[in-house]
Amino acid sequence: MQATYNKFPEVAVQGYDDQAWQGWQSINEILNARLFTSSRTVLVVDCYPGVRLQELEQQLLPALNSVLTINVETARLDEQALQQMLAANLTDDRVFGVLSCHRLSAFFDAEKLNLLRQQIDAVKHGVVVVYGPGAALAHPGDLLIYADLPRWEIQQRMRRDRLSNWGADNQHEDILRRYKRAFFIEWRVFDRHKTPLLRRADYLLDTTRKLAPALVSGKALRAGLQQTTTRPFRVVPFFDPGVWGGQWMKRQFDLDPSAPNYAWCFDCVPEENSLLLRFGAVRIEIPSQDLVLLYPRALLGEKVHARFGTEFPIRFDFLDTIGGQNLSFQVHPVTEYIQQHFGMHYTQDESYYILEAEPEAVVYLGVKTGTDPQAMLADLRAAAQGKRAFDDERFVNRIPARKHDHFLIPAGTVHCSGAGAMVLEISATPYIFTFKLWDWARVGLDGLPRPVHLDHGEQVIDWSRDTQWVYDHLVNRIEPLAESAGWREERTGLHEREFIETRRHWFSAPVTHHTQGGVNVLNLVEGAEAVVDSPTGAFAPFHVHYAETFIIPAAVGEYRISPAGNSVGRQLATIKAWVRG
C-alpha cells in the first residue's frame, strides 16, 4: 500500500508572498536596503540558544558593513557563575531537574551590559550590529531580527554535532544531561525572553537548515500565525529510534528503510515540533510553540488559556513496538509530587489507544490483586542491581491489546505497552516525567544503562489500582452517546482524575463537530482519507490521512469531517481529545 501520511504538512499563508526570502544573498540584499541611512542604525539579531553563531558571523555580518559589531555573549556570566546560579535547578540527577523561573538578564553581568550600551551610544553614524542570544538586552534595536529554530533541531545538534548547552562547555556530557539543562532551564528562560520580541520583530530568521536560511517579515509572520488559528492544521512530525522500537511506522509512513527501528513519532507536541508556513515560493520553519506563545487565546480558547497559560496541554504521539520490544515498565508522578519536586503545575496523565496490534500484544497495567508493595519494590530493586529479572508475571496485570482498544492510565498507575502494538498515546504534555521502574535489563542506544527511578517511583505508585479496579475503570470504558444516519459517537475516557476528554466517532457520512471554545486534537484512526471543512466556508477544505494528527484551534468553532477519496462509502473513525471544562 502506498504511504499517504504527510511528513511535511504546511500552512499556506495568504497575502504575503513577497514578504519572505531564501538564502544568504537575498537576505543580505533585503537587510542592506533597510539599513541604508545617513544616521546611526542599530541592528539587533537576537537568537534562540542553538543557533549557529559562526554561520551568522561568516554569512551575515560581513555583508552589513557595520562600524561596530558586538557579540552580546561577551557580557554573559562565566560558566562557573552560571553553574552556581543554576545548581538547584540542575540537581545531580541525570534526567530530572527543577523548572527555572529565571529571567534572561540574570545570566548577564550588569556592568558589562552597561559597557556595551555605552559603546553603542558612542556611535553617531553608520550601522551597529548586536547579535547573539540575549542581544536585545543590550539595545532594543532600530531594526530587530529574531533568529529561531525548533527544539527538535536543537536536540539533533546535541546528538550529531555534540552541541553544548548555552553558557556551558559540556559537549562531552551525555545527551540526557544536556537535554535536561535545555528542558528545565534554557527553553523556559528563552521562551520568556523571545515572546515580546516576536511581537515586535521586524524579521524572523529561520536557521533550521545549515547554510539554507530563510527570512520573513515580522508582519507576515504574525499574519501567518493568526491565519493558522482560523483553520485546521498539522505540526511537523518527527521520528526517533529506541531500544524497544518497532517496524510498523517505517512501512506505514515511508521512513528510512535502513534505520534499525522507529520507536517514537511525536505527531503533536507543539513545544518541540516545527510549524511550516509557506509564503509563496519560500517555506519558513519555526517552532510551533511560537504559535502558542503569540496567539494562545485563539488557539487554546479562553478557559484552556486561563488554566495552562502558554502551554499546549494535549499531546498525541506514537509508540511502535510491532517487531520490537516491551516499553520500559514505568509510572508517572501524581500532581502534588510533580509540583513539589519539579516545579511543574500539572502531571502526565495519559492513555494508550491501539492503532494496530499483533495477535499476542498486551498492555501491562496496574498491579495484580493481592500484591505486597514491599515485595514488589524489593523485586524491582534486585532487578535494578542486576541480581535477577523482575518477576512481572507475579506482580503486574498483562491485558490483551486489540486494534481500537483504549487503555486509560491516570498518574500513579504502573504500566507499559508490550511488544507487538502500535500505540497512539494521548496524554497531558509534561512528557519528560516518566519514572522507569524496570527496563528489561537493557542499555540505551548510547551504550549507557538506561536510568531507573525507583526512589521517585515508589513514592507515587497507587497500590489500590489492582486487577479488578483496572478492568472496572481503565480498560475500554466505551460509552455510546449519540448516533444518526451514517455516524455514531462514543465516549472512550479518560479517567475522572485526568483533565482530557476523548470521543470516538465512527462515520460513513459527514459529522459536524464544534470546538465549544477549546482546542480540539484529533487523529484519523480508521480509514484512508477524510476532509475537514467549514459548514460556512470559513476555511479551505483540509485533507487528512490515516494516522495523521491534526489540530482544530478553539477559534474555528464549527467544523465538519467527511469521508474523502477512496474512503467515500466506507466507515472511518476519528479519536478527538479536548480539555474538560
For the structural domain made of 264-473, what CATH number should be given? 2.60.120.10
pLDDT digits (tens, 9 = 90+) for 105-153: 999 999 999 999 999 999 999 999 999 999 999 999 999 999 999 999 9
> Cβ distance 307 to 300 under 8 Å?
no
E-strand ranges in 527-570 read 529-533, 542-545, 549-552, 558-563
Distance CA 498, CA 473 (A): 12
Section 236-255 average pLDDT: 95
pLDDT of residue 13: 98
Distance CA 145, CA 442 (A): 46
> Cβ distance 272 to 430 under 8 Å?
no
Strands 396-400 and 549-552: unpaired
Do 10-228 and 264-473 agree at the fold level?
Answer: no
Higher pLDDT, 450 or 569: 569
Q: How far is CA 150 from CA 366, 392, 430, 436, 574, in A?
A: 36, 39, 18, 27, 28
Angle at 51 between CA 49 and CA 56, to 5 degrees: 135
Given pLDDT bands bounded at 50, 70 and 90, which one contains residue 433?
confident
Task: State yes or no: pLDDT of 446 exceeds 70.
Answer: no
Distance CA 106, CA 137 (A): 11
Task: State yes or no: pLDDT of 278 exceeds 60.
Answer: yes
Grid coordinates in use for 79? 560558566
Task: State yes or no: pLDDT of 494 exceeds 90.
Answer: no
> In one letter, which amino acid is 49?
P
Beta carbons within 10 angstroms of residue 490's beta carbon: 19
Given pLDDT bands bounded at 50, 70 and 90, which one contains residue 222?
very high
pLDDT digits (tens, 9 = 90+) for 36-93: 776 899 999 999 999 999 999 999 999 999 999 999 999 999 999 999 999 999 999 9
> Cβ distance 202 to 216 under 8 Å?
no
pLDDT of residue 346: 84
Q: Kindly report whether the global pTM for this prediction surpasses the value 0.85.
A: yes
- In the block, residue with C-alpha cell 511528513: 7
Distance CA 329, CA 452 (A): 10
> Cβ distance 424 to 359 under 8 Å?
no
> Cβ distance 357 to 403 under 8 Å?
yes
Task: State yes or no: pLDDT of 1 exceeds 60.
Answer: no
Angle at 448 between CA 152 and CA 374, to 5 degrees: 105
pLDDT of residue 449: 65
> Cβ distance 419 to 325 under 8 Å?
yes
DSSP-assigned letters across all residues of 330-358: EE---HHHHHHHH--SS---EEEEEEEE-
Angle at 543 between CA 236 and CA 275, to 5 degrees: 20
pLDDT of residue 2: 63
For the structural domain made of 10-228, what CATH number should be given? 3.40.50.300
In the chain, where are the structural domains located? Answer: 10-228, 264-473, 479-579
Burial classification of residue 496, based on how many CB atoms lie within 10 Å of its CB (0-12 exposed, 13-18 middle, 19 or more buried): exposed
| Top-level class of domain 479-579 | mainly beta
